[in-house]
Structure formats: C-alpha cells, structure tokens
Structure 1
Amino acid sequence: MTSEQKIKKWSCEPPSLKIGQFEAPVPIIQGGMGVGISLAGLASAVARAGGIGVISAALIGIFEGEAVFFKDPRAANIRALKKQIALAKSKAKGGVIGVNIMVALTDFEPLCVAAFEAEADIIFAGAGLPMNLPGLRPEGMDHTRLAPIVSSGRAAALIAKRWLSKYNYLPDAVVVEGPKAGGHLGFSYDKIDAQESQLENITREVIEAMKPFEDKAGRKIPVIPAGGIYTGRDIYFYINKLGCAGVQMATRFVATYECDAALPFKEAYIKATQEDITIIKSPVGLPGRAIKGKFIEAVEQGKKSPYKCIYHCLKTCDYRKAPYCIAAALINAQRGRLDAGFVFAGSNAYRIDKIVSVQELIDELMTEYCEALREDQERS
C-alpha cells in the first residue's frame, strides 16, 4: 500500500512501523494467538493490509495431523512452523510476517532456530524472559529481527542488558503487554487491576528503561503496547501522546473472515457480554483471561479430572496436578468444539458484534486514527 493510497483512503497518513529493515505502512502488529488462531491465513491477510501479521508457534504441529504429531511432536512442530511461515510469506505480497514463540514452550529453542531458518521477518518472544534468544540464531542467518514481549520496565531492561553483554545485540523492538490482554497474563492475580500494572503506566516504564540502551545502540528501540487496545483512537493515544512506535492488537482480529479459528470460536466473541469475560486459573499456574462457557464452568465445579499427558508442551505445566490439559482444550476450541474447550479473549472482546474482513478492520481503525488526529489538530 503506497502513501498516496493511504492518504486517499484514510484522509491522513498514519506513521509507518519500522522494526529493523522492515517497514509496515500500518502501525499495527496482529498479536500471535494460539493454539492455531493466527496461522498463515490471518497473518498473511494482515500483512497484505499493511500491518505486521504474526503466526503463533504454540503446538503448531497438531495441524500436520494428530497421528503425525503424536508420533514425533517436536519434529511436527518444527516442520509445521516452517510450512506456515513459507505459506504466509507467499501470500503476503511483500508484507511483514512475524512469529510468536512462547519461552514457556518446551520446544522454544528448536522453534526459534526453525523460524530463523525459514526467514521469519520478526520473532516475538514472551511468556517468560527470552534471555538466550540472540544466541539461537544460526550463523549467517541475519534476516530475522528480535522483539521480546514484557510486562514491566524491569523485565525489558534485564533482557536488553543480558543481550548486550552476552551477544552484543539489543532488541529490535519491545512489545509491552498489559493486564487487559487475552490468554495468559504476566501478572499475579492481585496485580491485574492494580493501577501500576495498567498498560499506560508500564508502557511509560518501558520507554524510560530503553533510553539508556538506545543511547548505546545509536538508534531507537520501538516500544509497542499491547492488551486492551481496541479503537483507532486508542492507537492514536499510544503513538501520539506516549511516543510509541505502533501497537499490537489480537482480540480485534479474531472476528475476521481470515482468522484461522473455526466459526464457533469467532461467534463466541460476538455472543459474549462484558460479564462473560473472566479471569481463570490456568493449569500452567498463571491467570488467564477467557470467555465463560460450559467447559470453564465444569472446571470450576471440580468436574474435570487428572489426565495422561501425551506431550509435555509447556515447561511450567505439572500434569499430575492439573485438572485438565490446556493444550487439548485450546485445540478443541480452535476447531469449534467449545463443549470440550474454552476461548481466550481480551477484556474488550464483548464489544465485537460482527465478523468483518481484515481489510475492513484496518480501514476502520485507521479512519478512527485520522479522526482523532484531526480533532487534536483542531483543538490546538
């Protein structure tokens, strides 16, 4: 999408989002959503629309077929991730394609190597501190940029300090995820609603924490907030008032035609009320935000029982104490079997009332951004 097309379409020209050598004309990263919610279909559609599309690596090998996956889960995950990256890039028409790889995954290291080998444009790594990420890059494979996902300025500084001292490398961007995000949250239960944990405040923390490293690098380190960002006006606030380089949004992209989840998964967002969005205790020991349903109700009533772990996909999961397999629950939900699984969702999921195309969503967000810009200019 050219600048002229943007101006004609949206009445203003939003700033592009630059991460390393990559530049997205729309300053939006589509957050990686697992299991299988954001694969090549959604990621490539976002990239074509001008944003940064992101594939989730979580249990991606299951989409090779269950027989193949359970025969050799690690090999299936690696093979599937490479396939999805190649497919997304082939459909992205030159747009930017990233991958989200959780540090908590048992296969974190080999999946990162696979992403480097497949030339993913950006690796986003959270759900833990990716202290060794630069060291996983195979020699000579310099294409991929690296962006940790953090929930505090302290975590951002720890990662940057470690990367600089051990690998002489600094983050190409930092994503700051607040407590209103969907899925697993990087906050204790008592900190989710605390004022100091709110996205606006931790974003300022991270911006300040990165300044000394920007001075050492001689370049900007883009800071990108995530979690609860819903409208184009929200995007305008974080870019123009807080000085962020762009934003990350996940929940908004679920109710799109191109999202890789089954229709019942998307409809769960449309049907949800504000009261349906709840915090659950995940089997992996973290709080998570999800939509209430029969499965969660059964768990709360103690009706789920211990199970046999077929594949230890998350380092922090103790299947001997867990009431259910979160991997199986998320796979079932992705396939539309909501009686046997549940739907992760951000705090604003209840505001979604219809399914649209990715391009329609981007147009809506950028139109709202331009309106906020115009109103701000008129006030000043």
Structure 2
Amino acid sequence: MLMKCLELGDKCAKYPVIQGGMGVGVSLSQLAGAVAHAGGVGVISSAQIGFDEPDFKTNTREANIRALTRHIKNALAMKREGLVGVNVMVALKDYREHVRTAAQAGADIIISGAGLPVDLPELVAGTGTKIAPIVSSVKAVKVILSMWERKYKRTADMVVIEGPEAGGHLGFSREDIESGIRERFDDEIRGIIECVKGYAERFGVHIPVIAAGGIFNGDDVRHALSLGADGVQAATRFVATKECDASDAYKQAYIDASADDITIIKSPVGMPGRALNNSFIRRTKDNPERITECFGCLAHCNPSQVPYCITKALINAVRGDIENGLIFCGSNVSRIDRIITVDELIGELIV
C-alpha cells in the first residue's frame, strides 16, 4: 500500500495512522510515545489523567493538569518520526484548561470531540499546536468549520470522521446504530470529505481527513483511502499491544471477548457508547450505584441522576478490576486474539 506521510503544516508523521485517545488511563505516554516513535500519531487521553497521582481524590483538577503535562513531555521525548497528540473531550468540566495545558506542554495536535469544539482555535492561539475536530456528520463539520472561519478566520489542521463502529462514546443515536447506519456511512464520509475540501480551497491549504471506527487491518485502511480519506485512526487494536498503558487484565478482556459480549450503553456522559457487557454493565442497568464522591469530570453531570460514576468505573477497569468497571471497545474487539507490539500493528495497517 502506498501511504503518504501525514502533513499538518510544519509538522509531519511518517505514516497517516493515528492511535485514538482512550481514557481513563488506557492511552497515556507509554502507548502514545511508542506510536510516535514508530512513525504514527500517538494520542494521550486527558480524561482524568491524574488518576494515579497521590492527591487525585483531594486535588483532582491540579492532579490532572500535573499528570497531563508530565505525560505529554514523556511522549514527546520518545517520538522519532511521528507526532504526539492529546484527545480532550468537550464534555469535560475542565475542557478549556486541559486544552491550554496540552498546547503549552508542546502537544503537536489536539483532537477534540464528545461535543462541538467551537472555541478550540482560541484556546491554542499563540502556540504551534494543531487542532482537529472529531465529527460524525456533514452537519457537524459544517457547524464547526463555518464558526471557526467566521469567528477566528482560520480552519482545521485535520478532521477526524468517527463512524458508528467505533468504541467508547458515539456521535449517533442508539436507533441509528441499531438500524444499520454503518451500511450507509460511506456516503456520509464522502460528503464530509467534500465539505472539508471546500474550506481547504478557501484557505489555500490541504486539510487531511482521517477515517475512524472499525479500522482493524489493511483491508479497512484500503477501503478508507478508496473513499478519499488521507489516513485512519484506530483505537481498539492498540489496546492489545505490549505498550498499551492499561492493565494486563484489561487487555485480556479484549482477547477473551466474543461478538456477543459487545453492547451499546447509555453513558453518564449522555451519549451512547459501545462497551463489553460485563457484570458491571448488567448490574447497573437496573440497579444504579449510589455515588458517594464526585470527581467533577463532566460539565453536565448530576450524580443523583446517573447510574454510576463514570470516573470510578473507568479507573476500576484500567487497573484490572474488570468485573466492576466500564470497558469501552470497538465493534471488532472479538477479532483480537493476541498481544502484539505497536511496531507490528502499524506494520499490519500500512501494508
């Protein structure tokens, strides 16, 4: 396969392969740094990134900022022919602070979804950090790019299209997912690419468009490129790598998963999400947990109205308590049967 390097203005990655951001704690500097070293774009998730800091429970905001800076610096020190990015969810309570911290720490690019990142250009102003929104529809990309053009006189450095087969939070309704939207999504990808081209022409730049969701092997990459995408983003497959920051038990849950173990949940974030249907999901479906402490992770979360604390559930999982935690996954998780290295995985995706 002839894959061009990923050029983002004055920044470049040898391969247009992006490792998707996964929180809490699944994609930190160990994984992101390894991907950036191998020539791809390694992405750190900022979501509750300070969970391992000694003062996380008592000083959550500062612990997250401190850990975010440290992980970015560590990953940048590891990169060779790739780039280091940070995924910051718009839904986070401290979204603006996380973006500013990532840019000041020297992140090559910030990728932002789980909401519309309408003020992202303002937050990176004066830095060399590139910006990329995550979208799932032509409507969403038009709203974001038209606002950036009107308010900031600039456009995106890259656009990530996240399809319905992705893991974690999804930009689709449960009805759309269950009605077979994935069979029709190729047309949406083509439409988004055409829309982005219009903005690129007006600004006299090339805006790479990245296809995400359900990317498992070279065949999926070839299909994405045939639609006009410039590269791909994969997340689920990077969990089953030696360098992934998650616990061995978390990785083993992926290896053991069957297609029947995958379910669509309603996340406390307020969006549908794809996850493994473990005992935690089954237990909290009809019996919400009593939340005794709040970590202030989401801008819009009422602890008395959600079935569980998503921070606690994600931390439990990444640490290895998989039956008492939330394990997000993509639609192809059941196809994973072994642990490989990041180098091996990128080699599979680019041939």
Report the Cα offset of residue 13 of structure 1: 4.2
**1:335 equivalent in structure 2:** 319
SS at match of 2:161: strand
Contact 2:288 2:306 in 1 (8 A): no
Give TM-score, length-normalised by structure 2.
0.96
Runs (4 or more) in structure 1 with deviation over 3 Å come to 193-199
- 1:47 equivalent in alignment to 2:36: yes
- Residues in 2 aligned to 1:281 and 1:160: alpha-carbon distance in whole angstroms: 28
Report the Cα offset of residue 339 of structure 1: 2.3
- 1:323 equivalent in alignment to 2:310: no
2:18 to 29, 45, 61: 29
Give TM-score, length-normalised by structure 1.
0.89
Percent sequence identity over aligned pairs: 49
Report the Cα offset of residue 304 of structure 1: 3.5
- 1:212 equivalent in alignment to 2:198: yes
**1:87 equivalent in structure 2:** 74
Amino acid across the alignment from 1:234? D
Contact 1:179 1:193 in 2 (8 A): no
- Structure 2: runs of 5+ lacking an equivalent: none
- Residues in 2 aligned to 1:196 and 1:190: alpha-carbon distance in whole angstroms: 9
- Residues in 2 aligned to 1:281 and 1:64: alpha-carbon distance in whole angstroms: 29
1:156 to 134, 141, 144: 141
Q: Deviations over 1:287-309 (max 9, x none)?
A: 11001111112113x23333124
**1:203 equivalent in structure 2:** 189
Report the Cα offset of residue 211 of structure 1: 2.4
What count of residue pairs does the alignment treat as equivalent?
Answer: 350
**2:114 equivalent in structure 1:** 127
- 1:175 equivalent in alignment to 2:166: no
Contact 1:30 1:249 in 2 (8 A): yes
1:281 to 245, 251, 266: 266
- Residues in 1 aligned to 2:300 and 2:273: alpha-carbon distance in whole angstroms: 14
Contact 1:284 1:318 in 2 (8 A): no
- Residues in 1 aligned to 2:72 and 2:66: alpha-carbon distance in whole angstroms: 10
**1:251 equivalent in structure 2:** 236
Q: Deviations over 1:264-291 (max 9, x none)?
A: 1000110000111111121222211001
- Residues in 1 aligned to 2:166 and 2:293: alpha-carbon distance in whole angstroms: 28
- 1:366 equivalent in alignment to 2:346: no
- Residues in 2 aligned to 1:283 and 1:203: alpha-carbon distance in whole angstroms: 28
Q: Deviations over 1:194-237 (max 9, x none)?
A: 45565423211211211221121112211111111111111112
- Residues in 2 aligned to 1:223 and 1:49: alpha-carbon distance in whole angstroms: 21
- 1:231 equivalent in alignment to 2:217: yes
Amino acid across the alignment from 1:78? I
- Residues in 2 aligned to 1:70 and 1:291: alpha-carbon distance in whole angstroms: 27
- 1:354 equivalent in alignment to 2:338: yes
- Residues in 1 aligned to 2:58 and 2:283: alpha-carbon distance in whole angstroms: 31
- Residues in 1 aligned to 2:188 and 2:335: alpha-carbon distance in whole angstroms: 24
Report the Cα offset of residue 20 of structure 1: 2.4
Amino acid across the alignment from 2:248? L
Contact 2:89 2:95 in 1 (8 A): yes
- Structure 1: runs of 5+ lacking an equivalent: 1-11, 368-380
Q: Deviations over 1:53-74 (max 9, x none)?
A: 0000000121223xx1122211
- Residues in 1 aligned to 2:273 and 2:148: alpha-carbon distance in whole angstroms: 29
Distance 1:214 1:259, change over 3 A: same
- Aligned pairs for 1:59-74 within 5 A: 59-65=48-54, 68-74=55-61
Contact 2:39 2:81 in 1 (8 A): no
Moved more, 197-206 or 98-107: 197-206
Contact 1:176 1:223 in 2 (8 A): yes
Contact 1:150 1:174 in 2 (8 A): yes
Report the Cα offset of residue 126 of structure 1: 0.3
- Residues in 2 aligned to 1:305 and 1:364: alpha-carbon distance in whole angstroms: 42
Q: Deviations over 1:168-198 (max 9, x none)?
A: 1100011010111111111111111445565
**1:4 equivalent in structure 2:** none
- Residues in 2 aligned to 1:45 and 1:87: alpha-carbon distance in whole angstroms: 11
